[in-house]
Chain A
Amino acid sequence: MSEQVESLIRKDYSAGFHTQIESDTLRPGLDEEVVRFISAKKEEPEWLLEWRLKAFRAWQEMEEPTWAHVSYPLVDFQALSYYSAPRSMANKPKSLDEVDPELLATYAKLGIPLHEQEALAGVAVDAVFDSVSVVTTYRAKLEEAGVIFCPISEAVHRFPELVKKYLGSVVPQKDNFYAALNSAVFSDGSFVYIPKEVRCPMELSTYFRINEVKTGQFERTLIVADEGSHVSYLEGCTAPMRDENQLHAAVVELVALDDAQIKYSTVQNWYPGDKEGKGGIYNFVTKRGLCHRNARISWTQVETGSAITWKYPSCILKGDNSVGEFYSVALTNNLQQADTGTKMIHIGKNTRSTIVAKGISAGRSQSAYRGLVRINAGAEGARNYTQCDSLLIGDRCGAHTFPYIESRNASAVIEHEATTSKVSDDQLFLCQQRGLDAEKAVSMIVNGFCREVFKELPMEFAVEAGKLLEVSLEGSVG
């Protein structure tokens, strides 16, 4: 079957087009001047510039981490450009009518219409193109409910107290190499604030698009759910097909205050590189949420893109009775490499966490789950349940599991299970004997394998995720 499977995993990346648009792109290289330039461009207050510079200085002292189960030539950070914006965005368009039609067309082509009347009902979108936010839909409607959803560069001016209070409160500037880099040069991203006891009336979504050549994307997302509030947020990402590797080093911080709930879903479809492993995005992302008392943060991710994925969406369960969840599907094909998982840090009493991680490896790819469950001494009655399953398609890929379990409290109960299996010849034959073609059979088996994760996604995106897997696996069976 291997050959059959192998030949099925072939398909073009449909989001791989490039938008012809004039951009202002900063000269390559990174020094203090660049950090000051970005800050000035955004007309930032002094405190934020200082905050960036502190991060930059820390970053200069740090080393790129090498512990992940991935290999790639080290990134030349001086060869990258740290800021790029469509020229038409220079004079901040006031409404959608003033936005460059090329940009709108780009998003339409990606299936993300930005005109509200055409958009998915009930989903507000912030569209980020290279280093700037292009447009945010449904803002008026959201503001009626008191919900703030705007580019973070704008929030710095309009809600300085909120930004100052929470920026870096979950992921400090010096947290790790990429987080420090992001803190120094982050360009844009989304800011969300849900007031007390408010249930956000619609899904919020940010769509990231890298367009420019040799540009790093460093967006920063900050979501604050005030006491008793609820929000569901989704991010999507694509990039053109290019031979060079592009760097994406984002930071996402979630703050769930007492009794609040945040559901954060990601459908990551960055360009994965071609079949020979040329090009593709390096996705080095730090995502972390802080749960106060009775709060719940749920991460759901479907990762099919990127040449390299290095990503561990985590929960700090600080408040008593708080809940952290991580549901993940990571699919790698061709020469992709993924080292992804989560960290659940139990600090409060009766904190609970659930981890369901599904890895699918095809082609010559390598997929690793890396997770940490830590029960601190004070986390009386903490519970964790972890399930990691790997599915191998073809005999040239790898699937790995590295779970770290650290318990410091006798009343905690931790359960971890991991299995590895393959799409078996018998399963494939059964499906084919019932009239399904091999491709449909594999996608059905893979979808079945991922079911527990997909059911955590908002409805529309669950369908999208299923299709995305199908596309990503196409050509993996003959």
Chain B
Amino acid sequence: MAITASKTAALDSPLYAGRRRRNTIAKGMAYAATIFGLGWLVLILGVLLYKGIGGLSLAVFTENTPPPGAAGGLLNAIMGSIMMTVLGVIIGTPIGILAGTYLAEYGRHDKLSSVVRFINDILLSAPSIVIGLFVYEILVAPMGHFSGWAGAVALAVIVIPVVVRTTEDMLTLVPDTLREAAASIGLPRAHMIVRIAYRAAQAGIVTGILLAIARISGETAPLLFTALNNQFFSMNMGAPMPSLPVVIFQFALSPYAEWQKLAWTGALLITVTVLGLSILARSLTSGRKS
């Protein structure tokens, strides 16, 4: 009885009360901050669904971008986006995987690797508009015209660091005992890497590629002055090529209601693609862990 009394007395003393109050306030702020952060996600996705779904129809996928004031679709933009994304991944992925392999296997501790690792991290978060300027200087300016190739190369430059990073991370996760077992039966390193390390890290590497696709399918800035845009359907990589993000940029800033509506629909398509890819990528690795 006496103990309880002293306990309550202690808990009621100003020092304890103050500490408890501060704790409650801090916790309250943490809850508020989380609700605030998630609130934006809900708000943005909500608005996107509300505005985007209204414009969704078959025409979006079967008709080209319309002239101002007319109805139409996004077929040429979707096609252009897919072509440049696929090409960007085809160019960027092999370089990324090979460089990541060097960092994790051949040169795990050497000087070159630590430099490359650092540079790769810088490239990973370099402003994408600067990548666009770079490709403009090396491809568009010498060739004298904008082209789908330049767009694909710009996207490849963004793909490389992402793939390097995930490939290295995933290969370092492969237990060394597997490597030692392979070495003990006389397998050369190249075979060990291709037949054993790659196979063990397969899901992780695929995740990296998916994340890279998710990243570039929404990129606008590097395409603005490499692939430019095109009103018409074009499969010619040597000519300016439309892409979904650039079309959204152009249409959203226009004064025409039909264009703005298409911009919202395009935005919804991109978001669904990007979120879908990142969720797929996440489920691949989490499935492997458990």
Report if A and B associate in a common complex.
Answer: no
Chain B positions within 8 Å of A, measured between CB atoms, are none
